[in-house]
Amino acid sequence: MYESDGDASTSGTVALRIAGASDRGQNPAIKSDVTVDSTSSYSQGLSEPPLPQAPADSVMPNVWPPQGVAPTVGVYAMLAAGMAGDRGVMLATKAAIDAIPKPAVGDHNLAREKEKSALIAFKEGSYEAAIVRLNEAKKADPSDAELRTNLGYALIAYERLDDAKNVLVESIALDPGRGAAWVALGLVLAKQGDPDSAAAAFISSVAVSEPRMNSVEYFKALSKSDEDSGVKLAAAKALESRIVKEAATIAR
């Protein structure tokens, strides 16, 4: 789970190592900066991008945005641009998402109290309790993207990958520069058997957040040691992309 250190755009340190993935096959169609195979769910182009399904009420009773279309479609457009290695398109799409009105700020102090309690539960391995408390925090302040990101991490730990993906897409729709959410989305996609799309999410975390080197070093570690073969492959693919290589060069 991501703990804020005052810079919400950075990727933070992720400590989730959960095995298990489901296989699914779809047809590739876009030119990619990543080596693409037929398992990529975001390689179909942008005309009809896959939209997240409404998650269970127990997880997301107040889905944002109400119509669930424009911002989330933008997230998938950013993924496709990441797969194609086009940082310019990614940043332009990010700017468009940023311009969309966001929910009003709620009870921020209550939300943070709930989040602190959830972090304690998470560290103790009580993932279900962490999910409940983070969901309460999210209801207290629907505008806080970090709460949704942490809810996504808790759902990953609890192996509720579909719910985690939905929450993380919404977190990114609220704040597309949130590197931690892109990293978590990449973990979900890798665990669901889609390393190409996962690599695109990892690439997105490097392209849109600062400091970019944080994610690069993390992906190097994942590519060498993660116990989930899908995550390991996705990290290795991300490291081969032009965007990540350029970030690594700049940081030297």
Q: Which residues contact 81 (CB under 8 A, 6 or more apart)?
A: 87, 89, 90, 93
pLDDT at 227 over 80: yes
The answer to whether 228 touches 183, Cβ cutoff 8 Å, is no
Which one has a higher pLDDT value, 44 or 76?
Answer: 76
> What mean pLDDT is reported for the chain?
75
pLDDT at 42 over 60: no
The answer to whether 82 touches 119, Cβ cutoff 8 Å, is no
* pLDDT score, position 99: 87
The answer to whether 154 touches 1, Cβ cutoff 8 Å, is yes
Q: Which backbone phi and psi does 240 adopt, to 5 degrees?
A: -90, -5
Angle at 223 between CA 217 and CA 228, to 5 degrees: 130
Which one has a higher pLDDT value, 184 or 3?
Answer: 184
Out of 56-60, 80-84, 117-121, 146-150, which region has the weakest mean confidence (pLDDT)? 56-60
Write out the two tokens for 215.
Answer: 């994610």
Angle at 11 between CA 6 and CA 14, to 5 degrees: 110
Q: What percent of the chain lies above the pLDDT cut of 90? A: 52
Q: In whole angstroms, what is the distance from residue 126 CA to residue 132 CA?
A: 10
The arithmetic mean of pLDDT across residues 184-198, rounded, is 95
How confident is the model over 103-129, as pLDDT tens digits? 899 999 999 999 999 999 999 999 999
Based on the number of CB atoms within 10 Å of its own CB, is 29 exposed (0-12), middle (13-18) or buried (19 or more)?
middle
* pLDDT score, position 24: 28
Out of 27-41, 56-70, 125-139, 178-192, which region has the weakest mean confidence (pLDDT)? 27-41
